Amino acid sequence: MGEFGHRRLQIDERYDSEASSPQAIGRKVLSYEETYRCPACASGELSAIALMDIFACDFCRHMFSANLENQSVHLADSLQPMGWQWNGWRWQTAQQSDTAAVVIWAFTLGLTLAPVGIIALSNYVFPPLDSTGFPHMWTALTLGSHSTISIWLLAEYYRWPWYISSRIRLNRLRERLFSSDDA
């Protein structure tokens, strides 16, 4: 390889390691001095709590324990294990092996497809006497309502940001509208 080739290899390795560092590309490194968009609600900002190694959101009020070495945060105030990885620009959901997710998905698929299948099969086996569109409407209505329930269950389990922020906004609106100002 020769001295020139060996020196060029060292320079290329140093350049590659410097170019892939978050500071060289313009990415932010996860630290307690910065603020970040909340990964749980996607509406608030995460900032460090004074004298604690923890982040808190100013919108959804969740608390997050941080692992600065792995550039990740985990939901600290919930029984459900939720974690996000910081890639320098945005949060990515940390992949966790969770057997409950398989059960939730199987339940929601069964909840959606079983009633629709039963109604569609009964309409096929026992066709209506009149030629109205009622059986098709009933099947579509069942599919829509059971799909809505399944989406709600998945949103509750995965705590999707659009769902959490809309729930918080609705609760705040309800508090404003129905608060008693008798005093």
pLDDT tens digits, 74-86: 988 877 778 888 9
Q: What pLDDT sits at residue 19? A: 41
Secondary structure string (H, E, C) spanning the chain: CHHHHHHHHHHHHHHHHHHCCHHHHCCCCCCCCCCEECCCCCCCEEEECCCCCEEEECCCCCEEEEECCCCEEEECCCCCCCEEEECCCCEEECCCCCHHHHHHHHHHHHHHHHHHHHHHHHHHHCCCCCCCCHHHHHHHHHHHHHHHHHHHHHHHHHCCHHHHHHHHHHHHHHHHHHCCCCC
Lowest-pLDDT choice from 6-15, 21-30, 60-69, 171-180: 6-15
Residue 39 has pLDDT above 70, yes or no: yes
pTM of structure: 0.58
Residue 119 has pLDDT above 90, yes or no: yes
Residue 48 has pLDDT above 80, yes or no: yes
Region 114-142 average pLDDT? 91
Residue 7 has pLDDT above 90, yes or no: no
Q: What pLDDT sits at residue 26? A: 63
Q: What pLDDT sits at residue 181? A: 59
